[in-house]
Amino acid sequence: MKNSDLVRPLRKRAWNGVVQREQEAVTDFCASTGVNFLNKSVMSKLASESRGKAFYILGNGSSVNSLTQSDFKHIAEGVSVGTNAWPLHPFVPDIYSFEFSKHSLSPDPELAFMVKRAEANLQEKTGSIIVFLRPGLPAGLKAMVPLATKGRERVFLYGRANFLSTKPDALAKDIEGVLRESHPGGLDCLVLPDNGASVIRMIFLALIAGFREIVLLGVDLNDNPYFWYDQRFKSSFGDYTGVAKRDPGDATLTEATNDRPFSTSSFIVTLANVASTALGATISVGSRESALAADLSFRPFACE
């Protein structure tokens, strides 16, 4: 019943309540830590300065190791966000995106290492930012990692809210409602729709900011290893497997539906279809190695 059109207004009202509470939580967290909250104005400014450019989301799958120097030069001409362990990679994006473990009751050493590398990488990159997902409970304030004093003004925090729909058709309608109502500008603290995956939040971030061409790279969602476990990466840039340890099955955790109604891949496909219809936006994948290659449009690079 909760997925029917009849109760869609109720889902929307409940969603708005979750968003409001999350905005309050983010604002309180920022007041306690001195970190800025991310708002639409920040992203709108980035989008307006990059009008007509593509937005690249850099995941942690090993397919990124197939990209060439020419590819990364092309990516640098657009706007890019590197998620989670991306600071291990030598390519410096415009945005670094991090999230906390909900189980961390103290600063996580790996996250602190990644953030420190990101801060160092961005020192010479004007206009670049770091974004954190607000840590939930029980982690809370205890999970916040140390931040460098220099460049602190470009560190931002945002919130998230899951849709209440559990069926594909209802999800599509709920996504459409959010996308049609969201627009660049405004001072409200940003709360991004979520399904438990960084890539989904970053797609919404790009769409809300005003980008209309979004390309997923290293978003493999299969049993490919993480890029720093790939021998191609180790041979060129060193071995970081002792710093960022991952189990082989971790790469497909967001495909499981035991704690979420949709797998990450099915959610992205639905989001891509809705974004195309509602906004004229294109969400494509840059590697045939990705599990999404069969369902999303393909954006070839030099390695192809």
Terminal C-alpha separation, the chain: 46
Give the CA count within 13 Å in the CB-facing half-sphere of 262: 24
pLDDT of residue 256: 84
Q: Indicate the residue type of 143.
A: A
**Contact criterion met (CB below 8 Å) for 11 and 169:** no
pLDDT of residue 80: 96
Give the DSSP H/E element, type plus range, for residue 217.
Answer: strand 213-217
pLDDT of residue 255: 84
Three-class secondary structure of residue 96 per DSSP: strand
Strand segments, DSSP code E, in 33-104 are 36-37, 55-58, 79-83, 95-98
Mark the ranges of the chain whose per-residue pLDDT is less than 50: 303-304
**Contact criterion met (CB below 8 Å) for 221 and 195:** no
Domain chopping of the chain, boundaries: 5-298
pLDDT of residue 205: 94
CA pair distance 288, 286, nearest whole angstrom: 7
pLDDT of residue 203: 97
26-30, Cβ contacts within 8 angstroms, sequence gap of 24 or more = 26/134, 26/157, 26/158, 26/159, 26/189, 26/191, 27/189, 29/134, 29/135, 29/140, 29/141, 29/157, 30/157
Phi/psi class of residue 187: alpha, beta or left (left: φ > 0; alpha: ψ in -120 to 50)?
alpha
CA pair distance 195, 186, nearest whole angstrom: 25
Q: Which CATH number fits domain 5-298: 3.30.70, 1.10.3470, 1.10.287, 3.90.1480?
A: 3.90.1480
pLDDT of residue 183: 62
pLDDT of residue 2: 67
Strand segments, DSSP code E, in 62-154 are 79-83, 95-98, 129-133
Max intra-chain CA distance, the chain = 57
CA pair distance 253, 280, nearest whole angstrom: 31
pTM recorded for the entire structure = 0.94
**Contact criterion met (CB below 8 Å) for 101 and 235:** no
CA-to-CA separations, 12 to 87, 177, 178, 209, in angstroms, rounded: 37, 9, 9, 22
pLDDT of residue 254: 81
For 98-114, how does the pLDDT look when each residue is reduced to its tens digit (9 = 90+)?
999 777 778 999 999 99
pLDDT of residue 1: 53
Query: 250: which 2 tokens?
Result: 């971790």
